[in-house]
Structure formats: C-alpha cells, structure tokens
Amino acid sequence: MINNRMTFENLCLRNEPLANHSSYQIGGEANFFAMPETAEELITLLQGCRTHGLDYFFCGMGSNLLFPDNPRKDTLYISLKRLVYWDITPDKWFISSGTPMSMLSIAGLMYNIPGYEFTYLLPGGLGAGIYMNAKYNHRQISDIIKTVYYVDLEDPSLSVQSIDVSQCKYGYKQSIFQMNPWLILGADMLAVPEQMDPQQANRLLNRWKDKEGMSSLASFYSYMAEEAKALQSRGIHLPAPMTQIEEYRNGKRHFEYPSCGSVFKNNYDYGVPVGALVDRLELKGKAYGGAMISPFHGNMIINTDHATAEHIKYLMNVIMEGVDKAFGFVPEPEVVVVE
C-alpha cells in the first residue's frame, strides 16, 4: 500500500504557529513545520531539506525551548512528538524519542520495573531527555538507558547508528549529543519487562497519540494524572516518590502557567540553586511585558499574558546580570533559545 504522507510536501505544514508546539506557548509562524510519525518519514524530511536547500531544527515537545517570535523562513522545524513507538522483544525494549518520559513511570508501575518513578510528570520526550540528560533529584535519564540510536546528520547516507550509554559523556545536563549534529531516534532501556502484552502497550501509546501529544502543560498534567489514577483503580498504587513529585510540582505551580521549567542550570561549584539566589535578590514576581519571574520558583519565568520571546529574554538578562553582580557568576541557560 502506498503511504500518501510519504512525500516532503505532504509531510510539511505551512504557516504553523510554533507557539502551538511549545510549553511556553510562544513562537511565531513557521514557514515549514513537520511532525514525522516514523523514522522513514523523518528521513524523507531530511532528504527533502537537502533537495530544497532548507535548514532544519529539531524539537520534542518543546518544553525546554524558547522559539523565536519571527522564525527563519528557510528552516523546517521538526517536532518528534509523534514519533511514538516501542519495539519489544524478550531481551530488548526500544523506546522511540517521541515517547513522553512521564509514560515511563506509568509503564514502570504496569510492568513492575522499579527506578522510573522520577520521570513522573517530567515534561518532554525521551529523545530530548537523552539529549539534555533530564533529571529529577538524583535520578537522571542516563541511569535507565542502555543503547542510544541516532542519525548523524552530517553522514550523507543518514544511516542509523548506535552508541552505548557509557560512551555518551553524560554529566549534569550534559551529553555527547549536545556536542554533535546527531538526531536521536530512541534508546534500548537497561531493564526489560519480564512480561509485556504488546496490545496493552499499544493501547497505552495510542491513547497518548490520540491526544496529539502535549498541547499545554495543564493538559499534560491531567493526562498523566488520569493514567496514574486508572492504574490505582486496577489496584496498582502510586509509590511515595511519585506522590511526592506530584506535590512538589503542584506546589511550584509547574502546570498552571506556560513555562519551560527551570530557565538556568544550577552552578554546583557555587553550591546554592539559582532559584534561591533569585529569591535573595528579591526578583520573584518581577514582570516585563507578558512575562514574569515566577513568584513560586525563582528559576522559572512564566508566560502570564501573551508573552513574547523578547519578554522572556529580557527577564533572563535581568537574572543573569543580577546574579553576576551579587554572586560573581553568570548562570548558564538551561532553556534552549532558538534564534
């Protein structure tokens, strides 16, 4: 059967607001935008970019990004949030990049795999989690994956390559993927469920895909909380680490306003979290345009009322200058500012 989606033109949306694909709900209209559902569609898009002389930019669910108010006309923005599939064999569990990290905590409960609790309510897809080494407290994505599959975008053949997690140069919010033009397709997990009903797994993934991924932080939260509640109705109770995560994130109002989570990486050499330094500078609640330094968490800048990328960047500069002047270092942005 011919797949009608499989031409570059069919896969591309035109004049698509990037704000619809960012947890900040910020970003102007992209001339070209695509959400491939398979690795083949992705390769078609990459080849099409070469043919049409377009640049490309990859994202997952857009929860750690600040898209530009005026996107580049000659760039194809590719979101991998619909690249959601698992490959399950008795000794292997491959999870694709678009799978929400938080779904791992649900799957961990369903299939009795401990250690995935930290991903509960962590926004974003596994691909970006691998790229950023997403973490919660002392647990990070590099703890739970075994082999990463990627495409080297400079390789003319665009063939799929793999790398063992031990070679990925993982550190605090660091990885080899930030140093190379590599597109992550997904990873084999370290743990493999003893028993997994593929149909049940597909139902889990299809429910998410039917919701078209994450349209807002609020809908992401209610979706994952519903999945957890459904497990409880089947007698699978949420372990304490997951209920604590929910309390923590709700306490910091993570899902109430559009944001990208923490804007800056913590400086472990300095030893005090950026949020606490912003608090000491009494910058919480400072507003500019439609943006505000969160009154609930000093390391978050929230979109309170139609903020633009420029509003967010202005407040980022306020924090960087304030911290530099008072504490002697410039905090490094964690958010990826897309130019």
Ligand X SMILES: Cc1cc2nc3c(=O)[nH]c(=O)nc-3n(C[C@H](O)[C@H](O)[C@H](O)COP(=O)(O)OP(=O)(O)OC[C@H]3O[C@@H](n4cnc5c(N)ncnc54)[C@H](O)[C@@H]3O)c2cc1C
122 contacts ligand X (rule: CB under 6 A): yes
What is the closest distance, in whole angstroms, from the C-beta atom of residue 89 to ligand X in the complex? 22
49 contacts ligand X (rule: CB under 6 A): no
Neighbours of 328 (CB within 10 A): 8
80 contacts ligand X (rule: CB under 6 A): yes
Specify the residue, 173 or 196, whose C-beta has the smaller distance to ligand X.
173
| Interface residue with ligand X, options 39, 106, 134, 189 (CB under 6 A) | 134
Lookup: tokens for 199: 């149909």
Site stretch for ligand X (CB under 6 A), options 44-52, 130-138, 291-299, 305-313: 130-138
Query: How many residues lie near ligand X (CB under 6 A)?
Result: 32
Specify the residue, 153 or 330, whose C-beta has the smaller distance to ligand X.
153
CA–CA gap between residue 215 and residue 213 (Å, rounded):
6
| Interface residue with ligand X, options 20, 29, 69, 135 (CB under 6 A) | 135
Backbone φ, ψ for residue 303 (5° rounding): -95, 105
125 contacts ligand X (rule: CB under 6 A): yes
Distance of CA 239 to the CA centre of its chain: 24
Lookup: tokens for 211: 């919701």
| Interface residue with ligand X, options 183, 263, 293, 307 (CB under 6 A) | 183
What is the closest distance, in whole angstroms, from the C-beta atom of residue 238 to ligand X in the complex? 18
Angstrom CA distances, 248 to 11, 120, 136, 142, 258, stand at 39, 12, 11, 23, 17
CA–CA gap between residue 307 and residue 25 (Å, rounded):
8
| Interface residue with ligand X, options 27, 36, 48, 62 (CB under 6 A) | 62
CA–CA gap between residue 76 and residue 23 (Å, rounded):
19
Site stretch for ligand X (CB under 6 A), options 7-15, 55-63, 187-195, 274-282: 55-63
58 contacts ligand X (rule: CB under 6 A): yes
254 contacts ligand X (rule: CB under 6 A): yes
Specify the residue, 196 or 275, whose C-beta has the smaller distance to ligand X.
275
Specify the residue, 82 or 254, whose C-beta has the smaller distance to ligand X.
254
Handedness of CA 237, 243, 244, 245 (dihedral sign): positive
Which region holds residue 31: left if phi is over 0, alpha if psi is between -120 and 50, else beta?
alpha
Lookup: tokens for 141: 């994505």
26 contacts ligand X (rule: CB under 6 A): no
- Which 284-303 positions form the footprint of ligand X (CB under 6 A)? none
Instruction: Return the biggest CA–CA distance within the chain.
Output: 64
Closest CA relative to residue 308, chosen from 19, 32, 78, 23: 19
Residues that bind ligand X (CB under 6 A): 23, 58-65, 80, 97, 122-125, 127-129, 131-132, 134-136, 177, 183-184, 217, 254, 259-261, 336
